[in-house]
Structure 1
């Protein structure tokens, strides 16, 4: 779905109208995204009326990045160093110490636009942080200063346009009133939460402070042309009654639709609201009162044999183009959306004591990741969103939770989630840390005062209504949540839950806060989430935790190539077991791997550390999701990993780094989250199969083979099984064989799940420690040499066939990368069907590689592994 207009109509005068709304897309709509200039308020001696005159000279001003923050503009103009590299962030002045004027800026933009006939011209801001004054051609546009980061603006500027079309826009942007002391607390001293802005910018345990607190015109500025009636806030509801199958003929779905129609004229307007979907139409003729915003409900549309939208791993993500138009003698305005036909419901599972989700009548086991924000400096793009959500799809996840200390995610994020089948759990803007759940000596004010944050409660309700309308038509949006680990104050919570959401959405479950008992009954003590930090893989199978865990997980150090991108060479010092950690590593929030690295041998250098960290990453996240899946519907209805991405160069909680380079955690999680998956219980050596599909799987061969460190195969067993829908099947134990073979050097175990045609449906490969709990055998493994055969499939796709000799050991934990031949740097992002793979002696594995807008003639394939020397292979 395209950008949606929001809803609130306020006539500041007969000339200028303010709406908290935007269209999803519209006739003749364009962005003002280039040729902006800016200057600090202290450097400007005139006001907005003078600045917004077309002849006022600004060519000596600094070029501004819009959309973008002031820090982004300063970085783009080389006024500050890259705050994500090393400890450069310490070299940038913090707003708490400089005062707000240091980051208060004027932005100016010239553009050409006239209004012809009955055209109405609208100026739209999708996000400004934090307060805004707007001038156009010498006149004030907004009668009152706009406040609030999470609140859009729209103004009818028709009467303010210059007759010759040469227009000058001037925007004064103020930072948050309370930027907070970045004193090392979660959200600094907490006062950042007194306003409606991003709490993480004062610092958290996974990020250093963002010095300008995200001040700026951070989201799109657009101009739209309509006729007399402006169509905004379309609302599409899809009802899919009954329990549906993924394939075959479907019973009809019901489509409900409405839209707001703003009559900008001083007389009633007669016209027709028309919706077109799948070749069918729904329409209604209406008379719109003068100078009013009227919501119109269309007659229901019955969609025959609908192509349904399913979450990732359960079915296709079908989307229908939908067009809404208001027509008089001509089309006055129109909106275009992409709609997924699906119905999301929740029930309370009394056995697990947690929330259970159904899509189109089928229960879905939630495998999710926590998301902060795509970029901590708000440098968003559809391409980056698409890549990040694709990574989550590739990890076989089906949900992303948007953490409450950041933003309501952008429509482009939701478009990617619609495309790839990721359900979204959207928090509103509260956190237990800044908003007073816990006592914290680092906070400036006590819990009783912080519990009432933010100061302007009505602003929160206005912004919530606006953001609901912005994203409510997306198929991927599944849940609303009041806040991260705490509810909003009651005079926000109750109107939001009981009035605003039922009126403006009404189709999704609202959860008061992220770890409430309504989602997951907390009978274990603590906060209702975690544990955090590295766990012994056995604990995920044996230790029961919260039945729908909203946050669990920790590590995510990238490999050596990743570390080099943001850690200076002098600081590339490997952390030692229980030893000192370099200051740059600490600054980037390193979590110790300590005893989990040590079994692989003493760390030789940072390259060795990074490689061994990948072994820990892979095992950690595979075991996490396997342990939860093994207890599906018995202990658990879902789990959400903390966290799957980082908005800056942190050293924790990520499956790929800030630069979109993957680490082994992604592929461990990809394996453990497979919809149909074979796995080994590390506690009792029971082979188990989980089937998330809605149909039984018959005549499945479960096969187990062991390999010793020399590469010799030891057949263990193979048995046929049948597995029911959405169930877990315990097959057979190989404990005795493991104990017999493991001895002093450890052991490899390869599990395979095959169909009747002997096609592999799932494969899993484990490395087992020796009897002392170490990996001495791995440390003594002989080298092996792989044959590498690239094959181009299409312009941006290729396959790589890796073949291991029959007379050498397993090619263990092998990494492939697509690199630029001239620079020897990795092509980012690149999407691999699998990575960090192991190839058995005498066998081959084919990996597919997908990249965008890359000339493969200039690329090579790099391959290296635990016992495989680094080599590069030309593609052509």
Structure 2
């Protein structure tokens, strides 16, 4: 015992370990297979000339490389995508490329060097310094590859890596169907790339070294795939002293050498160290389990809106001979996620740390259809989801299992993640579809290589299982995998590799949300009468409920050519570019504001519809929280290209009114009015009771005159809905008006506004005739810089003015007038009541100079304001 103590004391005094891991993400070149007349052995020899080879984007796709070298036009602009050859028509050789990278590296002493590929689509062969690394062809987009290249390295330290990448064997006919003719799903790749009802086909089908390539150096031991499980028993509150939580840790330990290696395996977290002596035979791998660790008074991780997103640093090391042989660093959130069936709603209920969470989610496809991922883009997109007051993102099965950087952002911002595997009802045979090449029986068994799918699922579960945000697994979108894939997932892979998360067979299965009202168990889609969200019962845990999402004029200008900037007309085929970008008609909801005069007028009125839609959607579901519903997931909250539907912000990260309407309707504490019976209702999503709340209701006419209705003190319990009073009779007395504004507020005892909601009501004919004639409301606008990355904008409306309605604030470059993107507003599309003011905080990233603020509204002139 004393000997072990002295050993540990000695090891504790080791110099700090510098992680020897770096990315090979620059200096690549590439060439099409038709232009290369030698094999990989010759090509990977450093003496072979690479003159005139094209710079390659790695990580990236072939299409990204071609775009960056100006060989193709931007496929997201206009109808440029039609100018790019499709792999289905050209044959696979057109997008089959050699990628070559020279790098410096050599092993010294007992060092081991590992080459790691986190994602290649679709098949690949690897060569290093004239030797082939992979005895069997690498296959599958959703699986990692790792090679010990120690013995292949040049003694001079100058090395050349050559990789040939082939497109999917079955790229599919992009015939306009969901996933084209469906055959894209015969391989383990992204189904959306053959086209869907929200995207045009991606011409290379995402072929390329699409994810990171990494070199890792270790000593004689390699630590792989650590696994951390946290147990938080009982029902917890976000604040106060916590009872202990338990951490369970294991890790794979690999000895690639020809000698026995002995040492100490340890991990450190929260100031504690757990150690274990390990001896591993030559060439062996083992999974080592540590003793459980109790964390006293842990700082827990909570979903957004419910508590803090506390994360602990956890470090695993193998120590021997006064050296750190290898080290893995993780961020760990201590939380426990459970699911309990709600017999009243007949749907699954989500619980975190013993507390039930009403799911307010958004469906996510992929960050970028050409796989141009970055930490900064992930961070911005997930932050937008937090800003929507959502608490869950569902990753749809026709795309990928997301990258660890995505989960890092979800851990940071508190977004639970519902992760599908790679199946869809469209491609995998749920429905009869005349656009599909093969029948349902054949498609039901896609992909062709089932063992490959199981290997990939094992690998990808290991990749992301430690993230606090990962909440649920799902077999596929609207369909299960084939039985010989589904059963091993349920009975072996997930119990063995995870065992802590709910697995749903498919996204709208009865085990998630019992379907007793007909249909597929999700939907409806497209624009709806806002009243329908309140009055029509849909599925009790709806995995997809959708609507519209056209951006504003500045957004449209980024990808629609000037000649095509035409206001679409209801019941007429839209302009070709609008149609190509999947526009859904909703002018029947715009016309009550006055028929759109042009594209700019259309885009402004579309924002009114957008705001009203998504506010009503989440308010309607929240109104029946725990009665009809345990949650809903919007189809969809983002787009991986320049589509004209289903998005809270555009591809360029510019938010539209969908985001702020949804943000309003999803407030943790929220006052709202039922449009069916005008009942004023308060929703409390928090766990604690809220006492001594004043609920206030007023109306304003188009001239700004206010009509006081009521204010009452009352309380509301935690995680509940309370109905206060109807406004029917009061609003009927205002029928002679040409529409009114209804202002609802919750105030605390100090008259601080805790929630505010302003509705604009149509006249008795369902028209917004008053808004069409409302007078202008000149605002006093000031902007002040509060820190390096924060600006405060104050809008003041004088007494005697009408309501200054629906104002968009935009942070812009002072010279160009272009918007700073991304930028994060704590509210937007705001209305200022007469005699009141509102301050909006804008945050932005990076170093920005020469900033200004632009403000415009329905009855507020476009104004550019200098920042003080």
The worse-fitting range, judged by mean Cα deviation, of 284-293 and 428-437 is: 284-293
User: What is residue 10 of structure 1 aligned with on the other side?
Assistant: none
> 1:176 pairs with 154, 168, 176, which one?
168
Is 1:578 aligned to 2:574, yes or no? Answer: no
Q: Distance in 2 between matches of 1:756 and 1:784?
A: 31
> 1:352 pairs with 312, 333, 345, which one?
345
> 1:102 pairs with 71, 75, 94, which one?
94
User: What is residue 232 of structure 2 aligned with on the other side?
Assistant: 240
Is 1:188 aligned to 2:199, yes or no? Answer: no
User: What is residue 631 of structure 1 aligned with on the other side?
Assistant: 624
1:291-306 maps to which residues of 2 (within 5 A)? 291-306=283-298
Retained in 2: the 8 A contact 1:389–1:416? yes
Q: Secondary structure at the match of 1:813?
A: strand
> 1:398 pairs with 391, 399, 405, which one?
391
User: What is residue 862 of structure 1 aligned with on the other side?
Assistant: 854
User: What is residue 19 of structure 1 aligned with on the other side?
Assistant: none
Q: Secondary structure at the match of 2:722?
A: strand
User: What is residue 681 of structure 1 aligned with on the other side?
Assistant: 674
1:744: Cα distance to partner? 4.0
User: What is residue 267 of structure 2 aligned with on the other side?
Assistant: 275
Q: Distance in 1 between matches of 2:819 and 2:481?
A: 44
Q: Distance in 1 between matches of 2:492 and 2:577?
A: 48
> 2:589 pairs with 574, 578, 596, which one?
596
> 1:699 pairs with 692, 695, 702, which one?
692
1:822: Cα distance to partner? 1.4
Q: Distance in 2 between matches of 1:514 and 1:388?
A: 23
1:482-493 maps to which residues of 2 (within 5 A)? 482-493=475-486
Q: Distance in 1 between matches of 2:519 and 2:491?
A: 29
1:111-130 maps to which residues of 2 (within 5 A)? 111-130=103-122
Deviations 1:707-761 (A, max 9, x none): 0000111111000011001000001111111111142401101100011111111
User: What is residue 453 of structure 1 aligned with on the other side?
Assistant: 446
User: What is residue 474 of structure 2 aligned with on the other side?
Assistant: 481
User: What is residue 510 of structure 2 aligned with on the other side?
Assistant: 517
Retained in 1: the 8 A contact 2:528–2:547? no
> 1:536 pairs with 525, 529, 534, which one?
529
User: What is residue 13 of structure 1 aligned with on the other side?
Assistant: none
User: What is residue 669 of structure 1 aligned with on the other side?
Assistant: 662
| TM value normalised by structure 1 | 0.97
User: What is residue 843 of structure 1 aligned with on the other side?
Assistant: 836
Is 1:775 aligned to 2:791, yes or no? Answer: no
Retained in 2: the 8 A contact 1:577–1:598? no
1:427-826 maps to which residues of 2 (within 5 A)? 427-826=420-819
1:842: Cα distance to partner? 1.0
Q: Distance in 1 between matches of 2:24 and 2:582?
A: 37
1:328: Cα distance to partner? 1.3
Retained in 2: the 8 A contact 1:26–1:335? no
Retained in 2: the 8 A contact 1:417–1:423? yes
Retained in 1: the 8 A contact 2:547–2:613? no
User: What is residue 259 of structure 1 aligned with on the other side?
Assistant: 251
Q: Secondary structure at the match of 2:696?
A: strand
Deviations 1:750-773 (A, max 9, x none): 100011111111110100010001
Retained in 2: the 8 A contact 1:92–1:211? yes
User: What is residue 366 of structure 2 aligned with on the other side?
Assistant: 373
Q: Secondary structure at the match of 2:605?
A: helix
The worse-fitting range, judged by mean Cα deviation, of 735-744 and 593-602 is: 735-744
Q: Secondary structure at the match of 1:67?
A: coil
Q: Secondary structure at the match of 1:868?
A: coil
User: What is residue 227 of structure 1 aligned with on the other side?
Assistant: 219
The worse-fitting range, judged by mean Cα deviation, of 549-558 and 266-275 is: 266-275
1:55: Cα distance to partner? 1.5
User: What is residue 22 of structure 1 aligned with on the other side?
Assistant: none
Q: Secondary structure at the match of 1:438?
A: coil
The worse-fitting range, judged by mean Cα deviation, of 98-107 and 26-35 is: 26-35
Retained in 2: the 8 A contact 1:26–1:333? no
User: What is residue 15 of structure 1 aligned with on the other side?
Assistant: none
Q: Distance in 2 between matches of 1:796 and 1:803?
A: 23
Q: Distance in 2 between matches of 1:36 and 1:751?
A: 59
User: What is residue 16 of structure 1 aligned with on the other side?
Assistant: none
| TM value normalised by structure 2 | 0.98
Retained in 2: the 8 A contact 1:26–1:334? no
Is 1:419 aligned to 2:412, yes or no? Answer: yes
Q: Quote the RMSD (CA, aligned, Å).
A: 0.8
Count of residue correspondences: 851
Retained in 1: the 8 A contact 2:300–2:333? yes
Retained in 2: the 8 A contact 1:693–1:725? yes
Q: Distance in 2 between matches of 1:289 and 1:165?
A: 30
Q: Distance in 2 between matches of 1:26 and 1:830?
A: 35
Q: Distance in 2 between matches of 1:742 and 1:58?
A: 78
User: What is residue 864 of structure 2 aligned with on the other side?
Assistant: 872
Deviations 1:281-325 (A, max 9, x none): 111112112211100000111100000000000000000000000
Q: Distance in 2 between matches of 1:549 and 1:659?
A: 28
Q: Distance in 2 between matches of 1:547 and 1:573?
A: 40
Retained in 2: the 8 A contact 1:26–1:336? no
Q: Distance in 1 between matches of 2:729 and 2:268?
A: 64
Retained in 2: the 8 A contact 1:343–1:360? yes
Q: Secondary structure at the match of 1:363?
A: strand
1:824: Cα distance to partner? 1.0
Q: Distance in 2 between matches of 1:712 and 1:289?
A: 84
User: What is residue 355 of structure 2 aligned with on the other side?
Assistant: 362
Deviations 1:584-607 (A, max 9, x none): 000000001131111111111101
Q: Distance in 1 between matches of 2:735 and 2:791?
A: 38
Deviations 1:234-266 (A, max 9, x none): 000000000001110000000000000001112
Q: Distance in 2 between matches of 1:182 and 1:697?
A: 55
Q: Secondary structure at the match of 2:490?
A: helix
1:26: Cα distance to partner? 7.9
User: What is residue 215 of structure 1 aligned with on the other side?
Assistant: 207
> What 5-or-longer segments of structure 2 have no aligned partner?
1-16
Is 1:199 aligned to 2:191, yes or no? Answer: yes
Retained in 2: the 8 A contact 1:281–1:301? no
User: What is residue 12 of structure 1 aligned with on the other side?
Assistant: none
Structure 1's 26 and 749: CA in aligned 2 closer, same or farther, altered over 3 A? Answer: farther
Q: Distance in 1 between matches of 2:524 and 2:771?
A: 29
Q: Distance in 2 between matches of 1:634 and 1:468?
A: 34
Is 1:337 aligned to 2:330, yes or no? Answer: yes
Q: Secondary structure at the match of 1:170?
A: strand
Q: Distance in 2 between matches of 1:405 and 1:548?
A: 21
Q: Distance in 2 between matches of 1:141 and 1:800?
A: 59
Q: Distance in 1 between matches of 2:482 and 2:162?
A: 37
Retained in 1: the 8 A contact 2:28–2:55? yes
Q: Distance in 2 between matches of 1:326 and 1:751?
A: 60
Q: Distance in 2 between matches of 1:845 and 1:809?
A: 15
